[in-house]
Amino acid sequence: MSDYTIIGKRMPRVDSRAKVMGKAKFTADLKLPGMLVGKIKRSPHAHARIVNIDISKAMALDGVKSVVTGKDTEGVKWGVFAYTRDQEFIQTQKVRYIGDEVAGVAAVDEETALKALDLIDVEYEELPPVFDPMEAMASETELIHEDFPNNVNIHVNIDTGNVDENFEKAHYIREDTYVAPEESYFQAEPYAIVARFDHEDCLEVWCPNGGPHMKSKPLSNAFKIPLHKVKIRKITIGGAFGGRSEICPVDYICALLAKKTKKPVKIEFTREENTIATRQGHAMITTHKTGVDKEGHVLARETTCYMDGGAYSSTGPIATSVPFLSMEQAYRMGSVRYNGYRVYTNKPIRGMIRTHGRGFACGLDTQLDIIADHLGIDPVEMRLRNSRQPGEYTSTKSFVDSCAMDETIHKAVEKSGFKEKWGKLPPFHGIGIGTNSVQTGFPMGIRGGSQSFIKFNEDGEATVMSGVVDNGQGNDNMLVQIAAEELGLLPEDIHLVSADTETTSSDPGSYSQVSTFVGGQAVQIAAKNCKEKLFAVAAKVLKVEPKTLVAKNRLIFVKDDPEKSISIKKVVRISLLNFTSVNAEGGYWPKVDMKREWVKNPYGQMCEAFSFGTTIVEVKVDPDTGQVEVLEVTAAQDVGYGLNPLILEGQFEGSIAMGGQGGMLTEYHEWKDGRCINPTMLDYKLPLACDMPPKINSIIVESIDPKGPYGAKEAGMSIAMSAAQGYSAAVSNAIGVFMDSFPLTPDKILTAIKNKEKQDQKV
Amino acid sequence: MEKILITLHINDKPCEVMVYPNDTLLEVLRDELDLTGSKESCGEGVCGSCTIQMDGKPVRSCLTLAMEAQGTRIKTVEGLANEEELSDLQQSFIDHGAVQCGFCTPGMLISADALLNENPRPDKKTIRKALAGNICRCTGYAKIIEAVAHTNNPQESCPDCITGSKTGSKPNKIQGE
Amino acid sequence: MRLPRFDYLGPDTLEEALDLLAVHREDAKILAGGTDLLVRMKKGLLQPKFLISLKALNELSYITQEEDHIKIGARTPLADIIDSDLIKDKAFALSQACEKIGAASIQHFKGTIGGNILQDNRCHHYNQSDFLRSGRQACHKDGGKICYAREDADRCNSTCQSDGATALMALGAGITLATKGGQRQVDLASFYTNDGIMPFACESHELLTEISIPVQGALSAYKRLAYRSAIDYPIVCAGVLLQPPKSQTNDIDEARIVVGAMGRSPLYLAQASSSLKGKKLSDTDAFKNAAELSMNSSAAFAVHNVGATLEYRCAMVSEMVFKALVQAAQSVKE
């Protein structure tokens, strides 16, 4: 490990300079000659039939260049999965949520485009809407999608067998229900898209995305042009957090407007549109039934979860599964039965989100604390008795190779002083622990692997091509760091061409948590292949065996005799003069069970590695107002290997803010008749600088995964989830009440405190 | 509605530009003057991504009429560096890992710069208050606060406080060449 | 998000501004910092033909003491009020209130005390974009006949969330409204119509020019509750004033308790206030009683329209009032 020159170091990111200078271009910053402004007409009704659309007045408005409706499409329904094709890009028959797309306009400026929207006459016949998933499942409700009876979009059933027998054997059983409403990503950058058809009839698109290849294929299908003519371009992206990973109507509409007007078209979402017309997190009602033996080992578990999916499927199968999968990875469960139902409602669409199922996870962990309390075990011990160990299989039969879950628990406990504090703090002062696990990817069929290509320029510097996208988490830097390390160059010698579907190969996308494991590894392999070629040439020049050589600091030299060296630049030039290439490619495909499928066959090897993490939180609750003051957060994650501790710490801290501070204390959506009444940054409460805890400890634990690049696994999501669990546990501990409704806003905390006071007085 | 010619003083340079009365300063900066560093993230004066300095004080440019910016000295993120040489604050942001997606960064830098000009060595509590009007979704603020605190006050205990740079303005020495 | 079109008027003096107001009246709106006005215009809630800007009217930005009154120009930035030792010393509730408004980057240019007092009433059903308000009947404040915050309500129940106004009413402040050719002084307490649609009792050609706070050696404090420690409007707030008699004993001669963010205007609570007359500054039981009376009085007015639950906000009224009373009492100079 200490042999590394660049890997493992706190290296500032390669993309930071452009960002601090204000030079980095985000989609909305782009200006192309002749560019038009696009706007979308959206349904103001939650559920209605489209009777007629009249665009004549809009078309006649001076400055309007094109108006498109469902009539301009073929009415084909799209879906992330073949069995979830339920959404037209522009609705022709029905609208299913307030915000659903019914038309698009391209005009010379924003004012004209907005006026044109007002001039589009849409006649609706309102239908009875349904906003509650339980109501939606009842048979009398008008179906939102004709092909989905009882409005059940997805049903994931996992049953490892013997569940009921094992419940019989249990010493103690608890059944509890936990609820959490939806939350939103609130990426700093509101969604925007620029599209144009160029002189070769190629479609060029810039937009924030969680994987450009996820956007290019559907556009290729929709416009019936081959993939090599669809160019999703690299652009600086202002956050994704699990969103922006699939094609959505505005992408199609923008490209269609560009096609019709023969001009570039830019559509910028308002903050409100970003909240209601992209994706949100699912609201969930989760019932966990857990049976344990006398020592607190979980023998059996039955979990049923109803998820409010909103109006369309999106990545439904994934979102319905991951909350469960994270927990089965983190904990042994003996035998388990899981039924996850994703239900349609007439609300904005829900998708995958970084904190995958805050109520689900917090509920499971809270229940472990309740059981621990009953059995007289402390929460840490309870975790250790059930924690995932290396060499085990998860309930759905994924082999877990590297796993340092216990180490994360022990280190977090030690740093936070948990043992000294738990049970010994003054009233309304609490400490809590949460643990979780995240998979590095899932079987993605044809897009499960990543390929990289590296070319050398004659000045000895390199261009690295990779399909990996950077949403702000630091993936660009990760790729450059890996390439530099392997090639023996310095980071500034490397130019990265990434996330551009014209030049870079397919990649699973950042939302699948494999950017490092699969994408980074592909770059590592490509670089190693380059190095082999460089060494072959250098060996001849230095008259040594290639296996004696190493590359560092722009030099290739004999490891045990550094004086015998040659610069990489010279080697490249010699190769070119001798008609040899030192360019190389590399690819990585994780060995997963290709037959595993979210719904049809949710068993088998899910991915090659899992990350594990623990977050311990210490809080003080004001018993008069229910407000929470977070004193200290300690996050420890088994990331496999810390490629760049500076970036990892940033990921931990950001995860704590999103999953814990916001996700557990202030973030939720409120509704009135299907209308989101807090879509803005004022009314949806993201944590501010002055709200964050003063002390955050980040502990990087390394299990050195045998398959991961340098042993690295994943680091962007696990802490968001365990932070939510830790916050919840801490507040519950502080007030002496196990909470079951999230987020833990002051009113809920206060009510819990008052109810406990009344109960204590009765005793 | 007619366009009016106004003169804005931006980053120490006068700029003449034609504006409508209902143009905000943010729109004029981005659309007319190609200064796209300042961003729109909420449009209603909450998030701080549009923050610029007016006579040294941080201001929401999305709620400032372009016409009302006349007669003031405006500084945007593009004016923090001296040509290609970054300011100490900008360099500190890079070194401390305070930049992730970068969307909030221009506004953060402007607010922090305004603070440091009045109070070169603020404590963390003061920094949090000064940055309370700048929302970040990626970093959890920790490294931003540290970057600002250490700009004029580097700490021995901080592994990221270095003079010069690892990447960025000053390239590393070439070895072995 | 673009602003709708308007004609911009930039008078150089107060006189010019009043002339313009007299001519344009309802067709014009006053632009100070714009944090309330411009946001509502972007959401399509109003579309004035003219904006009359106070930018050049530096004569309306001042903090002075004249005999037994502190005079504050309406266009004084919140940052100036926060920095003022005079206000910290003699009108502490206002200093505390202003500190909580917005954030540092709003308090310098965008936030003015006049603007804060005159910010329109708010409701999470009303303060939405054009789009989110379409597809349903308009509410009272939006020109319709329905209230989404309180079922079957025949009137608008939007809420006054002004920190400044709550503190100032507790301080017994008065305001000056100027017109072309004249002006009038009004007690802030009489300035409210208790109507959600038009909360202020002033004509369209009147301009708020000055706030006047009586200085009588009183003790004051302000407490507010919000989700976050910056940016947010209060979900409940309380300003209190305790007037010890001139003999400087520890007895309360007069008390003023004002609760904000609960009703259509800041609520001066007469019963709760008078319950403290003759009580000692150390009488926390009397404070608790006054706090409870405050809660009971103001709960009747509140509806669920500013975030947080109604029950919670009502319960917090007594917390805020109690805490403010304790703080005011403790600020007595030995």
The string of pLDDT tens digits covering residues A265-304 is 999 999 999 999 999 999 999 999 999 999 999 999 999 9
What is the CATH number for A408? Answer: 3.30.365.10
Instruction: Specify whether C169 is located in the same domain as C32.
Output: no
State both tokens at A662.
């916001």
Contact C108/B at CB under 8 A: yes
Contact C6/B at CB under 8 A: yes
Pick the CATH number of B88-171 from 1.10.150.120, 3.90.550.10, 3.40.1670.10, 1.10.4190.10: 1.10.150.120
What is the CATH number for A255? Answer: 3.90.1170.50
Residue C6: which domain range?
1-57
Residue A379's nearest CA partner among A412, A343, A336, A341 is A412
The C-alpha angle with vertex A428 and arms to A426 and A429, in degrees rounded to 5, equals 60
Contact B134/C at CB under 8 A: yes
**Closest by Cβ to B101, choosing from A25, A238, A270:** A238
User: Could you give the C-alpha distances from A538 to A523, A571, A580, C155, in angstroms and in order?
Assistant: 22, 6, 12, 86
Mean pLDDT, residues C208-227 taken together: 94
Residue A465's nearest CA partner among A437, A498, A430, A491 is A498
Of the candidates C38, C57, C76, which is a domain's last residue? C57
> pTM to 2 decimals?
0.96
Instruction: Specify whether A410 is located in the same domain as A315.
Output: yes
For residues A536 and A475, give the distance between their C-alpha atoms in angstroms, rounded to a whole number. 31
Write the DSSP symbol of residue A129. Answer: -
User: Could you give the C-alpha distances from C24 to A689, C13, C206, in angstroms and in order?
Assistant: 43, 17, 11
Q: Is A650 helix (H, G, I), strand (E, B) or coil?
A: helix
| Closest residue of chain A to B30, computed from CA coordinates | A29
For residues A518 and C218, give the distance between their C-alpha atoms in angstroms, rounded to a whole number. 69
Number of structural domains in chain C: 2
User: Could you give the C-alpha distances from A115 to A110, A478, B62, in angstroms and in order?
Assistant: 9, 46, 22
Of the candidates C30, C57, C84, which is a domain's last residue? C57
For residues A450 and A515, give the distance between their C-alpha atoms in angstroms, rounded to a whole number. 9
Instruction: Specify whether C190 is located in the same domain as C244.
Output: yes
Q: How far apart are the first and last CA of chain A?
A: 60
For residues A510 and A242, give the distance between their C-alpha atoms in angstroms, rounded to a whole number. 8
Instruction: Specify whether A320 is located in the same domain as A413.
Output: yes
pLDDT, residue A142, reads 79
Instruction: Specify whether A658 is located in the same domain as A757.
Output: yes
The helix (run of H) or strand (run of E) holding residue C317 is helix C310-330
The two beta strands, C219-225 and C182-187, are unpaired
Q: Is there a contact between B48 and C5 if contact means CB atoms under 8 Å apart? A: no
Peptide bond into B21 cis (omega under 30): no
Q: What is the largest CA-CA distance in chain C?
A: 63
Q: Is C208 helix (H, G, I), strand (E, B) or coil?
A: strand
Instruction: Specify whether C17 is located in the same domain as C91.
Output: no
Residues 6+ apart with CB under 8 A from B7: B14, B15, B16, B17, B70
Task: Give the CATH H-level superfamily of domain B4-79.
Answer: Beta-grasp domain (3.10.20.30)
Instruction: Specify whether A540 is located in the same domain as A630.
Output: no
The C-alpha angle with vertex C95 and arms to C94 and C96, in degrees rounded to 5, equals 90
Instruction: Specify whether C34 is located in the same domain as C76.
Output: no
The alpha carbon of residue C152 and the mean position of all alpha carbons in its chain are separated, in whole angstroms, by 28
Instruction: Specify whether A558 is located in the same domain as A665.
Output: no
Of the candidates A554, A588, A622, which is a domain's last residue? A588
Of the candidates C12, C36, C57, which is a domain's last residue? C57
Q: Write B11-20 long-range contacts (CB < 8 A, 24+).
A: B11/B74, B11/B75, B11/B76, B11/B78, B11/B79, B12/B73, B12/B79, B17/B66, B19/B66, B19/B67, B20/C5
State both tokens at A368.
């472990």
Of the candidates A223, A253, A276, which is a domain's last residue? A276
Q: Is there a contact between A567 and B171 if contact means CB atoms under 8 Å apart? A: no
State both tokens at C246.
């001139």
Residue B88 · residue B152 · CB < 8 Å: yes
The helix (run of H) or strand (run of E) holding residue B89 is helix B88-95
Contact C228/A at CB under 8 A: yes
Residue A198 · residue A225 · CB < 8 Å: no
Contact B54/C at CB under 8 A: yes
pLDDT tens digit sequence for A146-204: 989 999 999 999 999 999 999 999 999 999 999 999 999 999 999 999 999 999 999 99
For residues A704 and A687, give the distance between their C-alpha atoms in angstroms, rounded to a whole number. 34
- Identify all chain A residues contacting C128, using CB atoms and an 8 Å cutoff: 675, 677
Instruction: Specify whether C11 is located in the same domain as C108.
Output: no
State both tokens at C199.
């909360």
Tell whether the model's pLDDT for residue A328 goes beyond 80: yes
Percent of chain A with pLDDT over 90: 95
Residues 6+ apart with CB under 8 A from A360: A178, A180, A284, A286, A303, A305, A323, A324, A327
Tell whether the model's pLDDT for residue A2 goes beyond 80: no
Residue A493's nearest CA partner among A504, A503, A480 is A480
Query: C132 in a domain, yes or no?
Result: no
For residues A379 and A617, give the distance between their C-alpha atoms in angstroms, rounded to a whole number. 13
Strand partners, A616: A433, A634
Mean pLDDT, residues A517-536 taken together: 97
Instruction: Specify whether C6 is located in the same domain as C104.
Output: no
Instruction: Specify whether A288 is located in the same domain as A409.
Output: yes
Tell whether the model's pLDDT for residue A601 goes beyond 90: yes
Q: Is there a contact between C104 and B22 if contact means CB atoms under 8 Å apart? A: no
Instruction: Specify whether C8 is located in the same domain as C92.
Output: no
User: Could you give the C-alpha distances from A612 to A126, A234, A363, A378, A432, in angstroms and in order?
Assistant: 48, 31, 18, 20, 17
pLDDT band for position A512 (50/70/90)? Answer: confident
pLDDT tens digit sequence for A85-141: 999 999 999 999 999 999 999 999 999 999 999 999 999 999 999 999 999 998 777
Tell whether the model's pLDDT for residue B168 goes beyond 60: no
For A302-335, give the DSSP string.
Answer: EEEEEEEEESS-TTHHHHHHHHHHHHHHHB--SE
Q: Which of residues 144-183 of C touch A (CB under 8 A)?
A: 148
The helix (run of H) or strand (run of E) holding residue C132 is helix C130-133
What is the CATH number for C165? Answer: 3.30.465.10
Instruction: Specify whether C103 is located in the same domain as C1.
Output: no
pLDDT, residue B163, reads 52
Instruction: Specify whether A653 is located in the same domain as A682.
Output: yes
Q: Is there a contact between B22 and C102 if contact means CB atoms under 8 Å apart? A: no
Tell whether the model's pLDDT for residue B176 goes beyond 70: no
State both tokens at A431.
């400490």
Residue B115 · residue A32 · CB < 8 Å: no
Mean pLDDT, residues C116-133 taken together: 96
Residue C96's nearest CA partner among C332, C323, C334 is C323
Residue extents of the structural domains in chain B: 4-79, 88-171
Query: A628 in a domain, yes or no?
Result: yes
For residues B48 and B61, give the distance between their C-alpha atoms in angstroms, rounded to a whole number. 9
State both tokens at A351.
């998708």
Instruction: Specify whether A428 is located in the same domain as A504.
Output: no
Interface test with B, best of A5, A10, A19, A567 (most B CBs within 10 A): A19
For residues A532 and A520, give the distance between their C-alpha atoms in angstroms, rounded to a whole number. 18
Instruction: Specify whether C49 is located in the same domain as C18.
Output: yes
Average of per-residue pLDDT values in chain A = 96
Residue A37 · residue A110 · CB < 8 Å: yes
Query: C146 in a domain, yes or no?
Result: no
Amino acid in the structure at residue A497: V
Residues 6+ apart with CB under 8 A from A655: A354, A635, A716, A717, A718, A719, A720, A723, B140
For tokens 């060494």, the residue is A535
Give helix B105-118 / helix B142-151 axis angle, nearest 10°: 40
Interface test with C, best of B6, B22, B23 (most C CBs within 10 A): B22
Burial of residue A214, with CB atoms counted within 10 A of its CB: 0-12 exposed, 13-18 middle, 19 or more buried = buried
Q: Is B63 helix (H, G, I), strand (E, B) or coil?
A: helix
Instruction: Specify whether A413 is located in the same domain as A481.
Output: no
Average of per-residue pLDDT values in chain B = 91
How many helices (H) and strands (E) chain A has is answered by 20, 30
CB neighbourhood size of A609 (10 A)? 28
Strand partners, C29: C51
Mean pLDDT, residues C159-183 taken together: 97
The C-alpha angle with vertex C243 and arms to C240 and C248, in degrees rounded to 5, equals 140
Number of structural domains in chain A: 3
Instruction: Specify whether A436 is located in the same domain as A485.
Output: no
The alpha carbon of residue A702 and the mean position of all alpha carbons in its chain are separated, in whole angstroms, by 22
Q: Is there a contact between B43 and C108 if contact means CB atoms under 8 Å apart? A: no
Amino acid in the structure at residue C80: D
Residue A555: which domain range?
16-20+451-588
Instruction: Specify whether C167 is located in the same domain as C312.
Output: yes
Strand partners, B52: B59
Instruction: Specify whether C190 is located in the same domain as C218.
Output: yes
Interface test with A, best of C126, C132, C148 (most A CBs within 10 A): C132
Of the candidates A564, A588, A612, which is a domain's last residue? A588
pLDDT, residue B175, reads 27
For residues B145 and A689, give the distance between their C-alpha atoms in angstroms, rounded to a whole number. 8
Contact B40/C at CB under 8 A: yes
The radius of gyration computed from the CA coordinates of chain A, to the nearest angstrom, equals 27
**Closest by Cβ to B43, choosing from C10, C42, C102:** C42
State both tokens at A741.
């409704």
Contact B43/C at CB under 8 A: yes
State both tokens at B31.
């659309």
For residues C118 and C209, give the distance between their C-alpha atoms in angstroms, rounded to a whole number. 12
Instruction: Specify whether C80 is located in the same domain as C29.
Output: no
**Closest by Cβ to B137, choosing from A18, A686, A690:** A686
Query: A494 in a domain, yes or no?
Result: yes
